[in-house]
Amino acid sequence: GQSLEQPSEVTAVEGAIVQINCTYQTSGFYGLSWYQQHDGGAPTFLSYNALDGLEETGRFSSFLSRSDSYGYLLLQELQMKDSASYFCAVPSSGGYNKLIFGAGTRLAVHP
Amino acid sequence: NAGVMQNPRHLVRRRGQEARLRCSPMKGHSHVYWYRQLPEEGLKFMVYLQKENIIDESGMPKERFSAEFPKEGPSILRIQQVVRGDSAAYFCASSPRDRGIDEQFFGPGTRLTVL
């Protein structure tokens, strides 16, 4: 089977840096993606890592270590609008876009 | 280019009624995925469809739930004889191909409440 583990909640202050970890167990690996979801909103794609290393997109970066079955999302220069839930996800063992999601990490950014 | 459209955004049904949820994929997208999200949980895959074909319905309950994606018109997720446990947010996503994680786009969701 496939499963993903991530912390349920993280709290940080404006301007700080926060790291949201995700460990996964999959029968085949096709990459790790991250989604942001504000309350009442739709999941929005943030990043995707298929290979080891760090991918940077503005204030957000995502890291993957396939040997450790581990990745993280790094959010820098936190803003209040970053308060949301963040989900890591992997494609199903078939490799196509059927996504298996973690339970989500709720990030609260305080002034 | 309009995004993925879902309607209605909110749907209230009494136990035993039918719920019909619609999803119009982005223009040019022929792959549609439905997910269900319970409060404080992640999204759970339900069904994957291409035009006129169900490719994978492994996440969909065997009874009361059905899905279609006709040649013309939106994809429909139908829930018959709804029960309180069906209350959730239902999201659809579309993509132009069956692979390419960064090309999957989600709609705003339909929030179903069963009284």
Chain A: nearest CA to B101, how far in angstroms? 6
**Looking at residues A50-57, what average pLDDT do you find?**
93
Please report which confidence band the pLDDT of residue A95 belongs to, taking 50, 70 and 90 as the band edges: low
Residues of chain A with Cβ-Cβ distance to B91 below 8 Å are 42-43
Q: What is the mean pLDDT of residues A23-28?
A: 87
Counting every residue written for chain B, the total comes to 115
pLDDT at residue number B9? 96
Is A38's pLDDT higher than 90? yes
How much is the average pLDDT of A42-71?
A: 94
Burial class from Cβ neighbours inside 10 Å (0-12, 13-18, 19+) for residue A74 reads middle
The string of pLDDT tens digits covering residues B23-65 is 999 998 889 999 999 987 889 999 999 999 999 999 999 999 9
Q: How far is B46 from chain A (nearest CA, A)?
A: 9
Q: Which of A91, A95, A97 sits opposite B31 (nearest CB)?
A: A97
pLDDT at A93 over 80: no
Confidence of residue A29 (pLDDT cuts 50, 70, 90): confident
Return the pLDDT at B53: 93
- Do A74 and A88 contact (CB within 8 A), yes or no? no
The per-residue pLDDT for B2 is 74
Confidence grade of residue A98 (pLDDT, cut at 50, 70, 90): confident
Does residue B105 register a pLDDT over 60?
Answer: yes
Q: Is residue B1 pLDDT above 60, yes or no?
A: no
Alpha-carbon distance of B10 to A44, in angstroms, equals: 20
Token pair 């994606």 is found at B69
- Distance, in Å, from the CA atom of B41 to the CA atom of A104, rounded to the nearest integer, reads 7
Place of tokens 């319905």: B57
